[in-house]
């Protein structure tokens, strides 16, 4: 794993994220709404160079504002990828409280929402290696910025949204932990780093 932002290639981070999207999120149909925006190239990928929670919050605020102002036909959703910050899931989970506060402060509650993914994601009522956790496991900590209107529209067109969770659990239970590992969706070596809380914030790398 790299310990320097200078060695971090944002294109590699985005490539690994797309592999996860294609093989897990879309490939396993864990999110029935993901394929449409992906194939239409309406996903904005932002690789943050932040090392601290405060720097991530700055990036999040900027990206919430950018998504709110963007044409949905061009940018419907944003993935804010954090390869160098909030690497410990406990820190990431604590940070999510600030995400909700930020939405409220920006006046975007009810307009945008933020979903969360992490390599060590663990639901409160699940064991560490419970397969249910893998619905929210990703190669990097990720904040997924979504438009409420787009999500509501997608739900209206889904035949039975109430069954999505049960279907995901059935898919993951059939796959098992070995099957998940065989997907090859973990972050490749050299495309992330341990959290370095004292490191300075470098310029953000943003890609579409």
Q: 124 burial class (0-12, 13-18, 19+ CB within 10 angstroms)? A: exposed
List the 112-117 sheet strands across, edge first. Answer: 112-117, 142-147, 77-81, 43-47, 205-207
Residue 38, pLDDT above cutoff 80? yes
pLDDT of residue 191: 66
Specify the DSSP class assigned to residue 24.
Answer: I
pLDDT of residue 31: 95
pLDDT of residue 39: 97
Q: What is the pLDDT of residues 66-108, one digit of tens each?
A: 999 999 999 999 999 999 999 999 999 999 999 999 999 999 9
Rounded Cα gap, residues 170 and 44, in angstroms: 30
Domain boundaries, the chain: 5-193
| Tokens standing for residue 150 | 């787009």
Q: What is the pLDDT of residues 166-194, one digit of tens each?
A: 999 999 999 999 999 999 999 987 666 43
pLDDT of residue 6: 52
Residue 8, pLDDT above cutoff 90? no
The model's pTM = 0.88
């Amino acid at each position: 794993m790299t310990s320097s932002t200078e060695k971090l290639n944002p294109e590699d981070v985005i490539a690994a994220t797309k592999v996860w999207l294609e093989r897990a999120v879309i490939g396993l149909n864990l999110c029935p709404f993901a394929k449409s925006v992906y194939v239409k190239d309406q996903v904005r990928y932002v690789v943050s160079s932040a090392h601290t929670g405060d720097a991530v919050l700055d990036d999040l605020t900027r990206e919430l504002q950018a998504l709110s102002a963007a044409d949905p036909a061009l940018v419907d959703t944003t993935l804010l990828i954090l390869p160098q910050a909030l690497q410990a899931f406990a820190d990431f989970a604590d940070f999510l409280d600030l995400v909700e506060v930020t939405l409220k402060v920006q006046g975007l509650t009810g307009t945008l929402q933020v979903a969360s993914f992490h390599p060590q994601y663990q639901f409160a009522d699940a064991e560490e290696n419970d397969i249910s956790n893998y619905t929210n496991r990703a190669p990097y900590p990720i904040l997924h910025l979504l438009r409420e209107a787009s999500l509501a529209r997608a739900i209206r067109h889904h035949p039975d949204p109430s069954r999505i969770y049960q279907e995901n659990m059935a898919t993951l239970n059939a796959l098992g932990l070995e099957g998940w590992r065989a997907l090859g969706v973990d972050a490749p070596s050299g495309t992330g780093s341990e959290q370095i809380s004292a490191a300075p914030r470098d310029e953000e790398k943003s890609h579409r």
